[in-house]
Structure 1
Amino acid sequence: MKKGSIHIVFILLAGLLTCGKVYAQDNVIRQLRSSLLQQTDSIRYTDVLNQLGMQYHLSNIDSCFWYAVKARGIATRLHDSRGLAGALNNLSIFYALKDNQKQAIEYGFKALLLYRELNDQPNVCQVLMNLSVFHFFEGMKPEADQYLYQAMNLGQSLTQDSIYSLVLINFASRYEEDSTRRDSVKWALEKSKEIIRKYPGSRDIYYIQAFEADEWMRDGEGAKAVHRINELADKALKEGLIGVAIDLLDHIEVYKQHGYPADALPAKEKAFAIGSRAGYLNVMLPTVVSLYRYYAKGNNEAKKAYYGKALLDIVRQRLKLRSSNHMNYLDYFLKEQELNEWQLSNKVQEQRIAHSNMKHKSRLQLIGFLAGCLLLMAGFTLARYRSYKNLRRQEELLREMNDAISEKNQQLSVHDDFKNKLIAILARDFREPLNDIINVSALFRNKDMDQAAMQRTIDEAVMSSRKTLVIFDNILRWIRSQLSGFVYSPAPCDLKLLFEQVAHSADQQQVVLDIPSGLCLAGDQEMLLFINRSLLHGATVISRGIGIIQVRAAVDDLVKVSILFEAPAFTPDMGAHLFEYRKGDDLSVTLVICKDFMDKMGGQISADVVEGKLKLGYSLPSFG
Structure 2
Amino acid sequence: MHLPKPIPYLIKVVFFCLCLNYAQGQSVLIQQEQHRLPFIKDSIGQVNCLNRIGMLYHLKNADSCFYYGIKAKAIAMRLHYPKGKTDADNVIASALYLSGLYRESLDLFSKELLAYRQQADTANTAQALLNMATVYAEIGDSVKAKVLSRQAIQTGRRLKQDSIMSLVYANYCLVNAALPDDSVSYYLDRSRKVAARYKDERMLIAILQIKANNLLNKGRKQEALPLIKQSLSESRDDGLEYFEINSFGLYAAYYADKPDSVLSYYNRAYKLVQERGYVFMRVKVLKVILAYTEMSGNKDKIVGVHNLMETALTAENDKLKKFIGDYIKYNAIQDDNTLLGISNKSNKTKIWLLIAVCTVSILLILIVSRQYQISRHLNRKIVQQNNQMQKTLIDLEQSQEDNTRMMQIVAHDLRNPIGGITSVATIMLEDEDRSAEDRMMLELIKTSGQNSLELVSDLLQVHTRVENLKIEPVDLSLMLHYCVDLLRYKADAKGQYINLQTTPVILSVNREKMWRVVSNLIANAIKFSPSGASILVKLEEKEKHVIIAVEDHGIGIPVEIKDKIFDMFTEARRPGTAGEQPFGLGLAISKQIVEAHGGEIWFNSKRNNGTIFYVKLPIV
TM-score after normalising by structure 1 = 0.51
Q: 1:187 to 1:159 in 2, by over 3 A?
A: same
Q: Report deviation, 1:234.
A: 4.2
2:299 equivalent in structure 1? 301
Give 1:267 shift. 2.4
Distance 2:362 2:166 in 1: 61
Task: Tell me what 1:335 maps to.
Answer: 332
Give the drift of 1:59.
Answer: 5.3
Equivalent-residue separation in structure 1 for 2:58 and 2:119 (angstroms): 24
| Equivalent-residue separation in structure 2 for 1:359 and 1:122 (angstroms) | 56
Question: Residue 93 of structure 2 contacts residue 106 of structure 2 at CA under 8 Å; is this kept in 1?
Answer: yes
Partner of 1:537: none
Deviations 1:438-472 (A, max 9, x none): xxxxxxxxxxxxxxxxxxxxxxxxxxxxxxxxxxx
Shift of 1:228: 3.5
Quote the offset at 1:139 in angstroms. 2.8
* Structure 1 CA distance for aligned equivalents of residues 305 and 224 of structure 2: 28
Q: Is residue 117 from structure 1 mapped to residue 118 from structure 2 by the alignment?
A: yes
CA–CA distance in structure 2, aligned partners of residues 342 and 25 of structure 1: 39
- Alignment partner of 1:264 out of 252, 262, 265: 262
Cα 1:104/1:244, change in 2 over 3 Å: farther
1:151 maps to 2:157: no
Structure-2 separation of matches of 1:327 and 1:118: 31
Change (3 A) 1:189 1:297: closer
- Correspondence for 2:175: 174
Describe the shift of the 1:49–1:8 C-alpha distance in structure 2 as closer, same or farther (beyond 3 A).
same
Q: Distance in 1 between matches of 2:313 and 2:160?
A: 44
**SS of residue paired to 2:205:** helix
The answer to whether the Cα contact below 8 Å between 1:97 and 1:280 also exists between their aligned partners in 2 is no
TM-superposition CA deviations, 1:471-494 (whole Å, max 9, x none): xxxxxxxxxxxxxxxxxxxxxxxx
Number of residues of Structure 1 aligned to a counterpart in Structure 2: 360
Q: Describe how 1:210-225 pairs up with structure 2 within 5 A.
A: 210-214=209-213, 217=216, 222-223=221-222, 225=224
C-alpha distance in 1 between matches for 2:150 and 2:224: 30
Contact 2:4/2:288 (<8 A) preserved: no
CA gap 1:328/1:164 in 2 versus in 1, 3 angstroms: farther
Higher relative contact order (CA 8 A, sep 6+): 1
Given that residues 135 and 141 in structure 1 are in contact (C-alpha distance below 8 angstroms), is that contact kept between their aligned partners in structure 2? Answer: yes
Of the three residues 283, 286, 291, the one matched with 1:285 is 283
* Shift in CA distance, 144/34, structure 1 to aligned 2, threshold 3 Å: same
| Structure 1 residues 85 and 215: CA distance shift in structure 2, 3 A | closer
Task: Specify whether residues 262 and 295 from structure 1 end up closer, same or farther in structure 2 by C-alpha distance, changes over 3 A only.
Answer: closer
Output the CA distance in 2 between the equivalents of 1:319 and 1:312. 10
Whole-angstrom distance in 1 between the partners of 2:279 and 2:25: 23
Could you say which residue in structure 1 is the equivalent of 2:45?
44
Deviations 1:161-212 (A, max 9, x none): 111111111122334x53x522321221121122123112431111222244
* Separation (CA, whole Å) in 2 of partners of 1:129 and 1:70: 25
Residues 229 and 314 (structure 1), Cα distance of their counterparts in 2 relative to 1, 3 Å cut: same
Q: Specify the code of the residue in structure 2 equivalent to 1:332.
A: K
1:311 equivalent among 290, 309, 312: 309
- Which whole-Å CA distance do the structure 1 matches of 2:244 and 2:265 have between them? 10
CA distance in 2, matches of 1:3, 1:130: 21
Change (3 A) 1:336 1:112: farther
TM-align CA RMSD:
3.6
1:198 aligns with 2:197: yes
SS of the aligned residue for 1:77 comes to helix
Which residue is equivalent to 1:163?
164
> Per-residue deviation at 1:61?
5.3
For the structure 1 residues 140 and 283, does the alpha-carbon distance in structure 2 shift closer, same or farther, using more than 3 Å as the test?
A: farther
Q: Tell me by how many angstroms 1:38 deviates.
A: 1.9
Change (3 A) 1:293 1:313: same
Distance change (3 Å), C-alpha of 1:110 and 1:250: farther
Is 2:250 the counterpart of 1:251? Answer: yes
> Contact between 1:255 and 1:262, CA under 8 Å: does it hold in 2?
no
What is the TM-score normalised by the length of structure 2?
Answer: 0.51
* 1:64-79 equivalences in 2 (<5 Å): 64-79=65-80
Residues 351 and 97 from structure 1, CA distance in 2 versus in 1: closer, same or farther, beyond 3 angstroms?
closer
Matches within 5 A, 1:319-358: 319-324=317-322, 327-353=324-350, 354-355=352-353
- Mapping of residues 218-237 of structure 1, within 5 Å: 222-223=221-222, 225-237=224-236
Deviation at 1:303, TM superposition (A): 2.8
Q: Is the 8 A contact 1:132 1:145 kept in 2?
A: yes
**Higher mean C-alpha displacement, 244-253 vs 123-132:** 244-253
DSSP 3-state at the match of 2:197 = coil
Tell me: CA distance 1:32–1:166, structure 2 relative to 1, closer, same or farther (3 Å). Answer: same
User: Structure 1 172/196 Cα, relative in aligned 2: closer, same or farther at 3 Å?
Assistant: same
**Distance (whole Å) between structure 2 residues aligned to residue 92 and residue 200 of structure 1:** 28
Given that 2:270 and 2:286 are in contact with CA atoms closer than 8 Å, whether structure 1 keeps it comes out as yes
Other structure's SS at 2:194 match: helix
User: How much does 1:334 deviate?
Assistant: 2.7
Unaligned residue ranges in structure 2 (runs of 5+): 368-620
Aligned-pair identity in percent equals 23
Give the C-alpha shift of residue 238 in structure 1: 4.0
Q: CA deviation at 1:132?
A: 1.6
Q: Contact 1:59/1:243 (CA < 8 Å) preserved in 2?
A: no
Return the alpha-carbon distance in structure 1 between the equivalents of residues 343 and 252 of structure 2: 60
Retained in 2: the 8 A contact 1:99–1:283? Answer: no
Q: Residue 57 of structure 1 corresponds to which residue in structure 2?
A: 58
Give the distance between the partners of 1:52 and 1:152, measured in 2 at CA. 27
Change (3 A) 1:143 1:217: closer
Map of 1:360-379 to 2, 5 A cutoff?
none
| CA-CA distance at 1:78 after TM superposition | 3.2
2:266–2:289 Cα contact (<8 Å) kept: yes
What are the equivalent positions in structure 2 for 1:427-466 lying under 5 Å apart?
none
Asked if 1 retains the 8 angstrom alpha-carbon contact of 2:51 and 2:69, the reply is: yes
Give per-residue Cα distances to partners, 1:296-323, cap 9 Å, x unaligned.
2322234323321232234324433443
Unmatched 5+ stretches in structure 1? 366-624
Letter matched to residue 206 of structure 1: I
8 Å CA contact 2:102, 2:135 repeated in 1 = yes
Q: For residues 297 and 339 of structure 1, do their structure 2 counterparts lie closer, same or farther at Cα, with a shift above 3 Å needed?
A: same
Number of the residue aligned with 1:82: 83
Secondary structure at the aligned position of 1:264 is classed as helix
Q: 1:274 to 1:96 in 2, by over 3 A?
A: farther
Q: Which string of whole-angstrom CA distances, capped at 9 and with x for unpartnered residues, describes residues 479-524 of structure 1?
A: xxxxxxxxxxxxxxxxxxxxxxxxxxxxxxxxxxxxxxxxxxxxxx
Quick one: distance in 1 between partners of 2:155 and 2:207? 22
Checking the alignment, whether the CA contact within 8 Å between 1:10 and 1:129 is kept in structure 2 is no
Tell me the alpha carbon deviations over residues 378-414 of structure 1, each in whole angstroms, 9 at most, x when there is no partner: xxxxxxxxxxxxxxxxxxxxxxxxxxxxxxxxxxxxx
SS in structure 2 of the partner of residue 197 of structure 1: helix
Correspondence for 1:91: 92
Report the CA distance shift for 1:250/1:160 in structure 2 as closer, same or farther (over 3 A): farther
The AA in structure 1 aligned to 2:318 is K
Q: Is the 8 A contact 1:292 1:304 kept in 2?
A: yes
8 Å contact 1:65–1:91 — kept in the other structure?
Answer: yes
- Structure 1 pair 262/201, CA: closer, same or farther in 2 (3 Å)? farther
CA contact (8 A) 1:249 1:267 kept: yes
The structure with the larger Rg is: 1
Note the C-alpha offset of 1:125.
1.6
